[in-house]
Amino acid sequence: MTRIYDSANTGPPGPEFALGGKAEALVRLTVGDFPVPRFYVCESDEPLPPSVKLDAESYAVRSSAIGEDSGEHSFAGQFESYLFVKPEDIPARIADVIDSANSERVAAYLEEKGEGGESVPQPRVIIQEMIDASLAGVAFSADPVSNDRDTVVISFVEGTAADLVSGDVEGETIRLREGEISDDERMNEVADLARRSEAYFGAPQDIEWCFDAAGKLWIVQSRPITTLRDPVRIWDNSNIAESYSGVTSPLTFSFAKRIYAEVYRQFCRVLAVPRARIEASDSVFNGMLDQIRGRIYYDLVNWYRVLALLPGFSVNREFMEGMMGVKKPFPPGLTAAVIAENRRGKFADTLALVATVFGLIRQAVRLEKTKSEFYDRLDDALKLPERPFETMSREELIADYEQLEDRLLKKWDAPLINDFLAMIGFGVLQKLAAKWTYADPNELVSGTEGMISLEPARRIRQMAEKAAAGENYEDDFEAYLEKFGDRCLEELKLESATLRDDPAPLRVSIERLADRLKNEPTGSVHRSKPVDSYRPPSGFFRKRIFPWVLGLARNRIRDRENLRFERTRLFGRVRRIVVQLGDRYGIGDDIFFAKIEEVLADKIDSEKIAERKSRWAEFETEMPPPDRIESVTDEPAWQDREPVVSSDTEKVGTACCPGKVAGPARVVLNPKGVEILPGEILVARQTDPGWVMLFPAASGLLVERGSLLSHSAIVSRELGLPSVVGLSGLCDWIETGDLVEMDGSTGKVKILEKNG
């Protein structure tokens, strides 16, 4: 009598009863609470035991061989399968399925796979209750043809899917991108089921499904999509778009690329990575940034390669993904490849870990001294030269730039060490807060004193209060320009005019806020700070460790913002130099279409510049590439698609600052000249420090991109401005004038009423 597995009465089988690929997937689906029709699995064509009750009207009888439906071989269609089998015919069909393992068809399949002559183990046989389907089909959680992992492909027919699977009929096919909604609710259910199966198995899935006469959706099979190719390149702009949004000039990109390469070489040296390994990774450092159709992207593969130079890759990778706001984890295949590239043997890896840990401890201990030395070096390097830039020769301007590189860019130690400690500190705080307290880590890091990011908003408010009271604020205005004159919208783009160049936007912001203050009750714009309290963890060590980690996270996040301001000062100085160099070369603002290497080497090519200028003008009018691009070749490839407008009335993002607010939305894609009206919720694709002039007037902040450590998240927390970031598709979902409710504690955003 054959051994049997019963999905209704048996837990997962032990290792001694190998069920085969198809049946094992069904068992996992059942354990995962998927809607799977009851099934049995038998291991031979011997008589079924009395415990098998075949009381359904009909059954499907199918094979489940070892390796079948695996990622390596699918054996799709190679073994016999039978549908609508009457209970009395099941023994004969079991024998037929088992005999099909010896067919010429299976032998030819193995020959094609290069495994001719190999024997196939006797398949197990699945006996599954047959669903009398009203609609059935297959669904791929990723497009197996285009390799697009954000699109579900659904093919379906009326009745059962047997003819569709065999290829005898074509049926109908639809494609649903992530966030896209079908008019047929059944297709939305199928797409959700396919995505759920992918998430459950951890890989894209090909599922068979059906609806019964009552409209219930069933899944009868799930297997990995064997034709998908792992990407070899991944570009992502989730976080960097906050600094370099939209189209960025060739000059800015080449300058930023140069900085990233040099700075992260220093980072590895600081953490005691052997010099030989750093030098061997030269192309990796030079390739951390890329530019696609004028937009700047992280080359994620190279970022992970840099991170893999350090021990503790798996932990640091998780923290880095959170800090960068990367929405999708790195593919397992690429992760394994990156780890393999950097594996040096257990003993060598242990030595590297010890060296890095001691290096990090040493740098953490002396961080205050390192910061002090950095600020001294920065102030000295950024001192104005004896002669005005306007009177300096080309050679003198280039020399001034080169001293900035030598004294600052090649010694950017304090920001690097602090950023790494901020990443680790906040990552550990999140984990400990979840385990040991009920506190929200976002609230815990709020209220930190001494954060320079808040000073512009506070000064703007103070000047607005004076203006509202009819007092003169010109001295305050000049003092603001002296300290924050390099701040502007898109301030890290060298082509962006700073407040020193044009202070008019600052004046407009002050006057508009003053008009609001005249008509508002005193104090109505001030917002409460999060309460600096939490349930202390129990236990001697926990009570001491948690406050220490909290202090580390707070201080490092504060210093991260402050050191970013110094980066703004440096970029402002470089802008002043290159603007003057544009005049010396006789090309004016066209210098922004040269590369920094061309500028420094006196190799300005007017034809190249004209060609770039024309192409960049085209980039400005094009639909932007996706935020994330995965390619199976070394070249970025994607399909231009209109944005999906979700019909949902609710989205959930990353909660950043608590507070529940309802009001009309103001969608701002370009903040220049925008006025936020009283009660409006500011909605943006991304923000940068220059947007802070709009924050005091808003009642809430919603941002499509960003993470918990992005500038908008940090500053909104410090201002007590309710905020949610990381809302995918936000600016295509909400329109100006929509009545919106947001909760900065939960990350939930609702559209209460559409405008018009």
What tens digit of pLDDT does each residue of 28-80 get? Answer: 999 999 999 999 998 887 888 888 888 889 999 998 876 555 445 445 556 78
How many Å apart are CA 205 and CA 27, to the nearest integer?
A: 16
The set of long-range contacts for 576-579, using a CB threshold of 8 Å and a minimum separation of 24, is: 576/389, 577/389, 577/397, 577/400, 577/401, 578/251, 578/401, 578/494
The residue that leads in pLDDT, 232 or 365, is 365
> In this model, does residue 112 exceed pLDDT 70?
no
How many Å apart are CA 460 and CA 140, to the nearest integer?
A: 54
Domain ranges of the chain: 1-130, 133-226, 229-365+624-636, 650-753
Write the CA distances from 78 to 42, 89, 108, integer angstroms. 19, 22, 10
How many Å apart are CA 549 and CA 317, to the nearest integer?
A: 19
How confident is residue 525, by pLDDT bands cut at 50, 70 and 90? Answer: very low
Which helix (H) or strand (E) segment holds residue 666: the answer is strand 660-668
Number of residues in the chain = 756
Q: Which residue has the tokens 């004896």?
A: 386
Q: Which residue has the tokens 């890759």?
A: 313
Q: Which amino acid is at 616?
A: W
pLDDT tens, 595-606?
999 999 999 999
How many Å apart are CA 155 and CA 136, to the nearest integer?
A: 8
Q: Which amino acid is at 686?
A: Q
> In this model, does residue 163 exceed pLDDT 70?
no
How confident is residue 327, by pLDDT bands cut at 50, 70 and 90? Answer: low
Beta carbons of 169 and 181 less than 8 angstroms apart: no
> In this model, does residue 242 exceed pLDDT 90?
no
How many Å apart are CA 368 and CA 130, to the nearest integer?
A: 71
pLDDT of the residue at 527: 44
Beta carbons of 228 and 74 less than 8 angstroms apart: no
Q: How many DSSP H helices and E strands does the chain contain?
A: 24, 22
> In this model, does residue 191 exceed pLDDT 90?
yes
pLDDT tens, 495-521?
998 888 889 888 888 887 888 777 665
Nearest Cα to Cα of residue 38 among 50, 26, 51 = 26
How many Å apart are CA 294 and CA 244, to the nearest integer?
A: 10
Q: Token pair of 194, please?
A: 């396919």
Please give the CATH architecture assigned to the domain spanning 133-226: 2-Layer Sandwich (3.30)
Cα-trace Rg, the chain? 31
How crowded is residue 673: how many other Cβ atoms within 10 Å of its Cβ?
Answer: 8
DSSP label at 634? Answer: S
Q: What is the mean pLDDT of residues 187-216?
A: 93
3-state secondary structure of 244: coil
Please give the CATH architecture assigned to the domain spanning 650-753: 3-Layer(bba) Sandwich (3.50)
Q: Which residue has the tokens 């890989």?
A: 203
Least confident of 113-117, 479-483, 663-667: 113-117
> In this model, does residue 127 exceed pLDDT 90?
yes
How many Å apart are CA 91 and CA 2, to the nearest integer?
A: 11
How many Å apart are CA 170 and CA 365, to the nearest integer?
A: 67
Beta carbons of 488 and 690 less than 8 angstroms apart: yes
Angle at 581 between CA 578 and CA 583, to 5 degrees: 120
- Decide the pairing of beta strands 739-743 and 660-668: antiparallel
How many Å apart are CA 3 and CA 7, to the nearest integer?
A: 13
How confident is residue 609, by pLDDT bands cut at 50, 70 and 90? Answer: very high
pLDDT of the residue at 202: 82
- Give me the residues paired with residue 125 across strands: 42, 63
Nearest Cα to Cα of residue 291 among 641, 687, 729, 625 = 625
> In this model, does residue 736 exceed pLDDT 50?
yes
How many Å apart are CA 657 and CA 669, to the nearest integer?
A: 22
pLDDT of the residue at 14: 65
- Give me the residues paired with residue 367 across strands: none
Q: Token pair of 692, please?
A: 């802070």
Mean pLDDT computed over every residue of the chain: 84
> In this model, does residue 109 exceed pLDDT 70?
no
pTM: 0.71
pLDDT of the residue at 10: 62
H runs (alpha helix) in 161-274: 162-166, 185-201, 250-270
How many Å apart are CA 325 and CA 348, to the nearest integer?
A: 32
How many Å apart are CA 492 and CA 690, to the nearest integer?
A: 10
> In this model, does residue 530 exceed pLDDT 50?
no
How many Å apart are CA 386 and CA 137, to the nearest integer?
A: 77
- Tell which CATH classification among 3.30.70.120, 3.60.130.10, 3.30.1330.120, 3.30.1490.20 matches the domain 1-130: 3.30.1490.20
Beta carbons of 243 and 492 less than 8 angstroms apart: yes
Q: Which amino acid is at 484?
A: F
